Chains A and B, each alone.
Chain A
């Protein structure tokens, strides 16, 4: 960027431009809107079966699949890896496939009346056998969730590198681990919700909804309802967290638009927490079995993986349910140098809530698996876990991985050394020994990982995706008063992107961030784009912002060179003025803006009117990286785990706003700790969700999250134009493995290993009891 260091805006922890409204209670969230009709959904209480009869109470307005003959089912597409396309009707028709699936919608003037009416709808379901666990779904004769998907395997990827067999054959030592990650809910604090309103003047519908992807939502709904996209406006207002759950299309939103068109009125639905826990998208439910083949020096030479991802009952739009198993397959070797690689990754249908991306997507689980493998291998070789990693981490760049990914420059070894230094490993080992002698069990766990971010179009195309969300466009306009508006296709919802993009633009065009308004989340006001997910927005929308701002800068310089009668090469933009370098001649930037609009005659036809530029960025992709360390104490009597300390040394390239980066990492780590120890969506054998309140599903409070210490390195990667890498997901990717490794380190004297997340007190006690019974 043109301005760096203390004089620029980039690199400074300026206060967020988002905060003044939110802090005063003036945010505008979806549920704040008033509608003529409230909608409640009647949801299936059975995991599998045929809908025999739906009986509506007298006088109630009840919509069922029979009314939706003009609505296409949701049918996400993938063109590779033996993917079998399956259809999800907006309301269940004929069959139900998970507890919580919407069967009917009820309308009433108030929420309470709608709930009363929904309770009075009777649904007769002829139940059928349900299959809940992915391994059970793979068994011969298991009930089929969709008749067209043989064996319930909806997608299957396999890879084997030419080096694999020979490398494994001569390896010194084979180390195996089988990791099980139970099911999580992303749990945004604001549940989902939508409000659809008909405009009588134009016949258009405005859908306001809690989404991360307003443009894709418009495309999807217009397609399903057979309407031109121009007739639908989608607004993402303030969104109370998403973490991925709000990037996939909610079938409920399709129905809201359909209802608003049919009634020529306004309708609204606010998801309640129970609906969110049982029927919003789930995540993480996977089995991963690894076998690592190591040479005599502890170097991993061949890795073999079997990935089984429970994808639930339907496939999510736009990514499809293949996103988890296929990402696992391609990224599983993580930050380690290994040429021999073999993997089988399957997505398996079950009668459970559909899976969709959640912060980290697959990588929290694959990182957990390979980091458990590394710790087991370290134990087998009698090495410190950090030493074994030292012998295996990638340290030459660019590095082309076994699966063909190009790793740009990063600091896998350096962040780990930084973490080892700051955590005080040697001192900890001494303290751990003393504690054990006194019957207290402390453990330390490391997790080193890469976070692939800024996925460009080719990365999605490689996966065979019908929709390849790899680029973003940013339009920047300066009005005649010199105020700047940047309109973006991304759709932030808590990440502070209005602030960070304003910082990037400010440095290019010489105006303060407070004079730059970043507009997002409205398909009428912003260029087409994909939204905010996959740690992509700062990389991709940030890159497009920089490129567009450079164009604006070019124009401002040209105008200034005319007005100041100086060479364009001598014009400097800073602090709201254009100056001729080395002179005292200057002109306020707002004067340039005035001239561009109102005094075009001054430029003799050499300047186009107005100041409005646009740029698109489609990056090659990059990798952030970090090393996480957790210190825990396990109470072997109760199985309870207490986190004493958490430390992360990370490298996300150039840091635009350190305060915001730290906040992203803190939040991700807290979710990763929850993944490792607390949160689990529990199904019973017949497919009922047993964790349908926040008293049963256990998100962490302040008591469960220890102080988090952060250290930063900044590798200026050539792979992105801003030199910034993404940082949204890393916390959630690395933390589970660090915690689980620490728990295992603490329990090492007992000879037990915990390879299942969350490591609840019950699971830890069960493992200890089993160990006590062993001879």
Chain B
């Protein structure tokens, strides 16, 4: 495979100029070429959601998108959620409510919910649960993820 393409991925505000084969997934290129390993790969067929990132603000399974499709787009990953040492409201809520155990699915849940709450801050609880059903967690039985997400949604809504 020699037909490589030069693309630029803007990850958390930083440009990464990379040369990739068209067949390579966004997840692989974020991790391997751009060194951002906080995005995890759990199934590579779009079911588990561990690889969820935001592409131009929308949650995307990065294992189901080719890197070349994200050329020039703004990508956000878990590494970009905190401002310096200050965690996002959602990150803090996950810690306070024990929304993570092994932590492997966590980046995907954080990006999924961050994207949805930014686009739909007034989302109904029912719709929020539908959104959470997009991703899999094997450790928590979802109880504390639900608590964390509800708490973060309420806190964000209460903010001016």
Interface residues, chain A, with chain B CB atoms under 8 Å away: 15-16, 18-20, 22-29, 31-32, 34, 111-112, 187-191, 238-241, 243, 270, 272-273, 493-496, 659-660, 662-663, 666-671, 693-695, 699, 701-703, 705, 707-708, 731
Contacts and interface: CB of A to CB of B under 8 A. Distances in A.
A668 B40 CA distance: 23
A272 B82 CA distance: 30
B94 to A, nearest CB: 6
Contacts of A23: 87, 91, 94-95, 100, 103, 106, 110
B101 interface: yes
A272 B98 contact: no
Nearest to B80: A25
Interface stretch (B54-62, B67-75, B128-136): B128-136
Interface range, B side: 35 or more
A188 B138 contact: yes
A705 B141 contact: yes
Contacts of A662: 98, 143-144
B133 A27 contact: no
4 closest Cβ contacts across the A-B interface?
Answer: A25-B38, A240-B104, A22-B103, A494-B102
B10 interface: no
A552 B137 CA distance: 39
Interface in B1-31: 1, 21, 23-24, 28, 31
| Chain B CB within 10 A, most for which of A16, A31, A494 | A494
A32 B35 CA distance: 9
A666 B144 contact: yes
Given A189-B104, A670-B141, A32 B37 contact: yes
Given A494-B101, A705-B142, 6 more contacts: A19-B100, A27-B104, A189-B105, A666-B140, A666-B144, A703-B129
A702 B146 contact: yes
Nearest to B23: A112
Contacts of B129: 702-703
Contact of A25 (B28, B39, B139, B144): B39
A273 B41 CA distance: 10
11 contacts: A19-B103, A25-B37, A31-B31, A238-B103, A272-B44, A662-B144, A666-B144, A669-B141, A694-B47, A694-B136, A701-B135
Given A25-B78, A707-B143, A693 B47 contact: yes
Contacts of A26: 38, 79
A660 B98 contact: yes
A516 B116 CA distance: 38
Nearest to A701: B133
B153 interface: no
Contacts of A703: 129-130, 133
B152 interface: no
A708 B94 CA distance: 18
Contacts of A20: 95
Contact of B141 (A34, A273, A708): A708
Contacts of A701: 132-136, 142
A83 to B, nearest CB: 32
Contacts of B42: 189-191, 240, 273
